[in-house]
């Protein structure tokens, strides 16, 4: 088996393993979705219930809630594998460590980014978004959550060796996620108003491609430092 094929096989096995373990502990990946719903549904209670007012604030509410929910879930990304020595075995396996961590990040996105994106249309409707905006809201959250997971992997790697790294993780990840927040909220706003959202969607895609290129290498370096 070639090195490339072996790396693909190892990454696929890790992805399958992480998804299997996660479905045995549903509380870990349902908690961010529940948090997302609670935050977004609190906005109509705290603001003027006028539909036009809620619709104007919907993009900010959706994306701030998505960012906070993503950070909440990132803390689980490497924690258990770091405690039981699995990450050390990955590092010594002879496979590309960055590639293996990318597989773990992909599993995290499937378990958190995809559910958040699927939950976003329901939250958007509660905030007054028209039904025609639902495909755009779903697409922007789905694409933006990719870069949120990749950025979070870097932060999780840097705080892996800390006993209480949750607060520091938030301080590291949230500033780096600001461009995703800006472009994602803009895409959602354009979708709600029935305008073309191609520009911010291209920028979200560029952030995701850049993240896939850089984040696994940065996360692998951060995890190696934490394991030493």
Q: Tens digit of pLDDT for each residue in 113-141?
A: 899 999 998 888 888 888 888 999 999 99
pLDDT tens digits, one per residue of 76-106: 788 777 777 788 888 887 788 888 899 899 9
Cβ(204)–Cβ(183) under 8 Å? yes
Residue 147 has pLDDT above 60, yes or no: yes
Statement: residue 149 has pLDDT above 80: yes
**pLDDT higher than 50, residue 4:** yes
- For residue 204, what pLDDT is reported? 94
Please report the DSSP string for 139-170 in residue order.
HHHHHHHHHHHHHHHHHHHHTTT-TT-HHHHH
Of the pLDDT bands very low, low, confident and very high (cuts 50, 70, 90), residue 213 is very high
Which DSSP string do the residues of 6-41 spell out, in sequence order?
HHHHHHHHHHHHHHHHHHHSHHHHHHHHHHHHHHHH
User: Mean pLDDT across the stretch 158-175?
Assistant: 76
């Amino acid at each position: 088996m070639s090195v490339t094929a072996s790396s693909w096989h190892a990454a696929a096995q890790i992805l399958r393993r992480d998804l299997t373990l996660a479905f045995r502990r549903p509380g870990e990946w349902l908690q961010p979705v529940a948090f997302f719903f609670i935050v977004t549904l609190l906005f109509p209670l705290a603001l003027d219930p006028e539909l036009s007012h809620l619709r104007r604030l919907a993009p900010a509410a959706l994306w701030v809630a998505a960012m906070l929910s993503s950070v909440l879930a990132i803390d689980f990304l490497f924690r258990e594998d770091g405690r039981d020595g699995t990450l050390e075995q990955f590092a010594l396996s002879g496979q590309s460590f960055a590639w293996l961590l990318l597989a773990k990040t992909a599993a995290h996105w499937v378990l958190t980014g995809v559910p958040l994106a699927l939950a976003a249309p329901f939250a958007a409707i509660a905030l007054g978004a028209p039904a025609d905006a639902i495909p755009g809201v779903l697409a922007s959250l789905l694409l933006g959550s990719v870069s949120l997971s990749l950025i979070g992997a870097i932060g999780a790697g840097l705080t892996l060796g800390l006993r209480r790294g949750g607060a520091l993780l938030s301080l590291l990840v949230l500033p780096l996620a600001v461009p995703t927040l800006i472009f994602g909220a803009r895409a959602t706003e354009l979708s709600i108003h029935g305008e073309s959202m191609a520009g911010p969607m291209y920028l979200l895609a560029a952030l995701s491609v850049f993240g896939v290129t850089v984040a696994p290498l940065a996360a692998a370096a951060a995890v190696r430092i934490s394991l030493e």
